[in-house]
Structure 1
């Protein structure tokens, strides 16, 4: 500080010192200049003092304090990294020393503890790593030529220093041969993700270091703009400039990426109606995380808690998690990851949640999907809102190419990109906010109007229905999606699951029996908005619902959970036949939801006594559900609106909609029953008839 400030301090001695608080506008202007000129000269300081109405000395002291603050922040960050690196090296040295003490010469029986043996071990470690990389590369090339995975040698036990391969990675999705015979489509044990090995105390500091470096990279990706990020001219979405990124964040071996490997990276931002503490709590809890993203996260769980956070908060928490991300169609493989999730409060009201994939060599699976530093920054705003900046960054090796229908959507980054995460988060936060509102009665449509408890019970029941519907569409949900040869040529895929003792199947209560799920995807030459409007209109249902036998339906109750009229829960009732008791006792629970990434219309039959229980506000978790519905996605090509397309070449030309139709049907009430050819033929005919009716109805609307 200069003599001027010392003089002020001496003059103010004995009386209370006066502090000057800058206005938000002054701080914003000073921060913007600081980013460009951390050391302004006297002329620049004078100009700032005139523009902001401050004394030149105040401007000078502000820049001095800001530089000191930045230096302290960098020093703290560097110290954390150095401490983690020091701990990692210390543990590795201790382990190597212990290993060398136990080495015994096979000829003379003497202990080998000389310096030569230490360097020999380092050479062996490097040679083993090189041979492992060569084996993985050759196995990958061979499996592509043979069309099947190559059986590898049993994994070599690693040296005690670490059992983790810290190259980021995930696990390969397993698909079944589409030419399986129907008699092999019986009910088998569900395929589960590969268990992750127990983490040793030696591996923990290495994981902490990896998570800290991943978090620092994510913060820079979230806060920096050009040249790392560039915008798409057609829709304004942000994409990663790979050359600039690799110069800024070099990684060993990235120049040797295979021809079948590509990078998917995107960034998006938006405001959500939820504060940062609530969001952080939901992100760090796998169950709440799945509820927050029901259309994306079909399965999640915590494998191990490495750090629980500081002072009872989530700041500093580090967990190893498993997650499965959905493509919302059986022809789009789900993406599975084991990853480290690190939560840190950077400053008051600002949090970061960062993810980084890890892979263990104890699991003899070649990773094909890697979750590179991804996650979000959460900044508190006024009125309970938060600003979200989301970064999605993955390295994908295409061992099982995406179906042609969804190729453009996946390649454009819309299927698994940041835009989908932000849009889903915004919509679900608005839904949660509407769930908390009291005194906002559902729309009176001539039916029974539930009270506030009944409204919340119906919303929870509907959310379970949507979550179950989405999870059944995953390609790694524990059941086998196949297209039996010779049964159909329309691309219908089927899978079978069972439920016994009236328990849970796939997370939702179902009645006893064997159930057949069937789905198909088609391209339509219409905008996603027009297709969504068609399906959510109960007056159009008679045109496509072949299971209703031509009966019209009436909406008797509607619960809106968003300002958009399409985001609502409806209770439908078919036109009643007094002579038929089933018509009087069966209702249809339907939820429709839409955002910029796509739309859903999901429905399930519910008997009247069960619905009365839900509408009265009682526990609805035991009510059985067997949902069906539609997934409405943009096709990923440029252009909007209703467009004509040639029926002989439906995938060429203008943009449109990719529609996935999915049904769940009870095959037998006996859990021990097997699937028959007649059941598959029947559901194939139902889906085929539904597709034809949908196309005919949309053509008539266009005319």
Structure 2
């Protein structure tokens, strides 16, 4: 990607929010102080607000008002820099300030770029959940590496979505328009998942009563699901995070792979799971969009899952959603993903400490998040039966994953 395109990703608020959805939420352009003079973003100074989050409600989001300045130097190098405005307009109980942070973008090779990123923040971490204190206090959870990794992922996604169709598993050929629709639906699913589980001020989380087995559970209501011909229902989102003493890669492989899905997925238990097709995203073959088929017998399909799995040095995720067979058929023939309702669930994996921090091996922090449609509850009342189902799903899934890791079950 050339420097100008990266500059546009950062300076165009809509593109910034769309590209960095795993890092920022509630982004707003509050005003432009200095306009560009040559048709580019050179010299533009704008005031923005955003919330910076991680992929769990247990880490508080960092709210910030800041100025963003863009400058092109004589050698063609670009700089994009943020600085908090809370010092100019003091707010009570400010817990986060963005000191001068941003990136330098240099053109290299054939329309490529070298990006150097710096994060410099002042933050009050006293209210951190103990599980996440090491990874957040070290700076790793909100590090500059996340921004670089996201730009890399965006470039890989652009390459994948525009590449010519190639045969996938068992030589299956998806038409070009079907491939594009499948990737767009996967992107919609993953964005939905990240938006659902973060701790931005828009997401109001509550806890599970203490008399339940699952620990550190957070739950909230999503949007009301409306399906033609069926009664509407409230979407309930529930999540928890646990520490597992195995490397991220081991846990990621176990959760993403077809051969081990029936070890943890309640709907796949005692059933045969097969990856029908996949589309690779980038050079790592584990980063892919897949269609998983769950059979209760050789000729009976119980469930189709759309799944995206992705890993880099900052973390991993596996996001999936059940799909209607007719809806999947339309997508594979180039149907519009905007008209497909999708309820993603999945996993986010982080290291339990920064590489090189402290003694001992680096383990994993696993965040599990699920969605279900509940027609008995509303935002004022959640019946005991719903709470018991939430507790059972989380407790059973956590126990299955822990047992598999304890007994060394791998894909």
TM-score normalised by length of structure 1: 0.55
Q: How big is each residue's C-alpha offset from its partner over 1:236-272, in whole Å with a ceiling of 9 and x where there is no partner?
A: xxxxxxxxxxxxxxxxxxxxxxxxxxxxxxxxxxxxx
Count of residue correspondences: 407
1:601 aligns with 318
* Correspondence 1:245-264 to 2 at 5 A: none
Cα distance in 1, alignment partners of residues 324 and 340 from structure 2: 9
Deviations 1:136-184 (CA, angstroms, capped at 9, x unpaired)? xxxxxxxxxxxxxxxxxxxxxxxxxxxxxxxxxxxxxxxxxxxxxxxxx
Distance (Å, rounded) in 2 between the aligned partners of 1:673 and 1:591: 34
* Residue in structure 2 matched with residue 620 of structure 1 by the alignment: 337
Separation (CA, whole Å) in 2 of partners of 1:362 and 1:356: 13
The 2-side partners of 1:380 and 1:435 are apart by 24
Alignment match, 1:548: 268
CA distance in 1, matches of 2:37, 2:227: 43
Deviations 1:562-591, CA, capped at 9 Å, x for gaps: 1101110001111155897xx46x420000
2:70 to 340, 343, 349: 343
1:451 is matched with 175
Structure with larger RCO (C-alpha < 8 A, sep 6+): 2
The higher radius of gyration belongs to 1
| Alignment correspondent of 1:472 | 196
More strand, by proportion: 2
- Counterpart of 1:697 (choices 401, 404, 409) is 404
Please state if 1:668 is matched with 2:375: yes
**Using the alignment, how far apart are the partners of 1:678 and 1:699 within structure 2?**
31
Worse overlay, 514-523 or 476-485? 476-485
- Aligned residue in 2 for 1:521: 241
Does 597-606 or 482-491 show the bigger shift?
482-491
- Residue 275 (str. 1) matches residue 5 (str. 2): no
Return the match for 1:495 from 179, 203, 220: 220
Show CA shifts across 1:438-488 (max 9, x none).
x232513476x3222221221111111111111112122523222233342
- For 2:387, the equivalent position in structure 1 comes to 680
107, 119, 128: which one aligns with 1:402: 128
Asked whether the 8 Å contact 1:356–1:371 carries over to 2, the reply is: yes
Match of 1:441 among 163, 166, 187: 166
- Could you list the per-position Cα deviations for residues 31-73 of structure 1 after superposition, in whole angstroms to 9, with x for gaps in the alignment? xxxxxxxxxxxxxxxxxxxxxxxxxxxxxxxxxxxxxxxxxxx
Deviations 1:565-623 (A, max 9, x none): 1110001111155897xx46x42000000111010000011212222222222321121
**Structure 2 CA distance for partners of 1:302 and 1:664, relative to 1, 3 Å:** same
SS of the residue corresponding to residue 282 of structure 2 reads: coil
> What is the CA deviation profile of residues 362-420 of structure 1, one whole-angstrom value per residue up to 9, with x for unaligned ones?
88643211011101011111122100000001101235x21111111112211001122
**SS of aligned partner of 1:574:** strand
2:186 corresponding residue in structure 1: 462
Q: Aligned pair in 2 of structure 1 residues 291, 502: CA closer, same or farther (>3 Å)?
A: farther
**Residue 130 of structure 2 is aligned to residue 413 of structure 1:** no
Secondary structure of the residue aligned to 2:122 is: strand
- What is the CA–CA distance in structure 1 between the aligned matches of 2:237 and 2:76, rounded to whole Å? 45
TM-score, structure 2 normalization: 0.91
- Contact 1:441/1:451 (8 A) holds in 2: no
1:536 maps to 2:256: yes
| CA offset digits 1:649-682 (Å, max 9, x no partner) | xx99543111111111111288788421221121
Partner residue, 1:432:
158
Cα deviation code 1:181-204 (max 9, x no counterpart) = xxxxxxxxxxxxxxxxxxxxxxxx
Question: Where does residue 110 of structure 2 map in the other structure?
Answer: 383
Partner of 2:210: 486
Q: Relative to structure 1, is the Cα distance of residues 524 and 336 closer, same or farther in structure 2, using a 3 angstrom cutoff?
A: same
User: Is 1:632 the equivalent of 2:358?
Assistant: no
- Residues 673 and 551 from structure 1, CA distance in 2 versus in 1: closer, same or farther, beyond 3 angstroms? farther
The residue that corresponds to 2:26 in the other structure is 299
How far the C-alpha of 1:541 sits from its partner, in A, is: 0.2
SS in 1 for 2:275: strand
2:19 and 2:222 map into 1 onto residues whose CA distance is 26
In 1, Cα distance between equivalents of 2:366 and 2:239: 10
Secondary structure of the equivalent of 1:621?
Answer: helix
What is the rounded CA distance, in whole Å, between the counterparts of 1:530 and 1:519 in structure 2? 21
Mapped partners of 1:446, 1:384: distance in 2: 33
What are the ranges of 5 or more consecutive residues in structure 2 without an aligned counterpart?
A: none
Please give the alpha-carbon distance, in whole angstroms, between the structure 2 residues aligned to 1:636 and 1:672.
Answer: 36
**1: CA distance between counterparts of 2:397 and 2:338?**
31
Deviation per CA, 1:122-149: give whole Å up to 9, x if none: xxxxxxxxxxxxxxxxxxxxxxxxxxxx
Asked whether the equivalents of residues 499 and 512 of structure 1 are also in contact (C-alpha less than 8 Å), the reply is: yes
| 8 Å Cα contact 1:442/1:559 also seen in 2 | no
Bigger helix share: 1
- Contact 1:497/1:516 (<8 A) preserved: yes
Q: Is residue 328–residue 473 contact of structure 1 (8 Å, CA) maintained in 2?
A: yes
Conserved? CA contact 1:459–1:569, under 8 Å: yes
Aligned ranges 1:170-185 → 2 under 5 Å:
none
